[in-house]
Homo-oligomer: A and B are copies of this chain.
């Protein structure tokens, strides 16, 4: 391993290597080739890396639980694949999505096989039967919650009256429980107590909320990067933390202006729309309010670790993880 790399980078490299060595069946090619493609397109492997980190921190053997970490990554990519199908998205991570490249039916069936493969990978971990049952139960609960979150997200598209509490519940389900459960599974498999598992789960949950709010924030105030254009959420009227806050706060003339830009036919000149909505955000102080919310959930995450009785350097690894996740600027 290369020295001076952060712990997260080392775990991410381990996952990347193991993922590329996964042996998918060869036939039928039309089922497995899109799976290999979807997993090869990249991504940062944050979630399985977090699982491995938790295993390490609590004294477990990372090599024994590697298949469980891969299960989390394959599952995460399954959700992206089916989300892209439902959104009719053409591009992800700067590359064609599976539904665009291979068609919607392939996205359905290869996605299904990825979900099944995630359970198969869990089964391959060198863990006791009792742990396997517990992990499978946690995993299924998380998977169900992510389906719920995706459904709420789709429901919100058709509603004008979504409030922040509903939004926070949605992103908890859709985004945060996966980070929380990845950490909890690692903690459990290392043999840590129920109390310690709960701490790591809470840490992951609050971190996940801050992470998603920062994602919303960066869509408007971030740096443009490959495959991600600034203001995409604004153009698509996506109900983000920022937009819901603005809808809630805007009164009088500003309310009329915002409603004007939210009309379905106002995306003909995207740059103009982005500037106009950003101006409304500015006047309402939405940027500062979002940063404040990110800070609140970051502090809650840090607080979740206070009760945790582990060595300081291990606690530092987790705090550094939070830093890594929340300091990205694209």
* Residues A144 and B129 in contact in the complex (CB < 8 Å), given A82-B109, A150-B109: no
Q: Is the CB of A120 within 8 A of B140?
A: yes
Residues of B within 8 A of A27 (CB): 148
Question: Which residues in B have their C-beta under 8 angstroms from that of A117?
Answer: 144
Digitize A81-120: 1 where CB-to-B-CB distance is under 8 Å, 0 elsewhere.
Answer: 0100110000000000000000011001101110111011
Closest to A105 in B: B86
A25 to B151, CA, bound (A): 13
Which listed segment binds B: A131-139, A265-273, A309-317? Answer: A131-139
| A31 located at the interface, meaning its Cβ lies under 8 Å from any Cβ of chain B in the complex | yes
Near B by CB (< 8 A), chain A positions 200-259 give none
Total copies of this chain within the assembly: 2
Whether A151 touches B119, Cβ cut-off 8 Å, given contacts A82-B108, A82-B109, A113-B144, is no
**Measured between alpha carbons, how far is A155 from B31 in the docked complex, in Å?**
10
Tell me whether A18 is interfacial, beta carbon within 8 Å.
no
Question: Is B112's CB under 8 angstroms from A147's CB?
Answer: yes
Tell me whether A264 is interfacial, beta carbon within 8 Å: no
Given A115-B116, A116-B115, A151-B109 in contact, is the A133-B140 Cβ separation under 8 Å?
no
B108 A123 Cβ-Cβ under 8 A: no
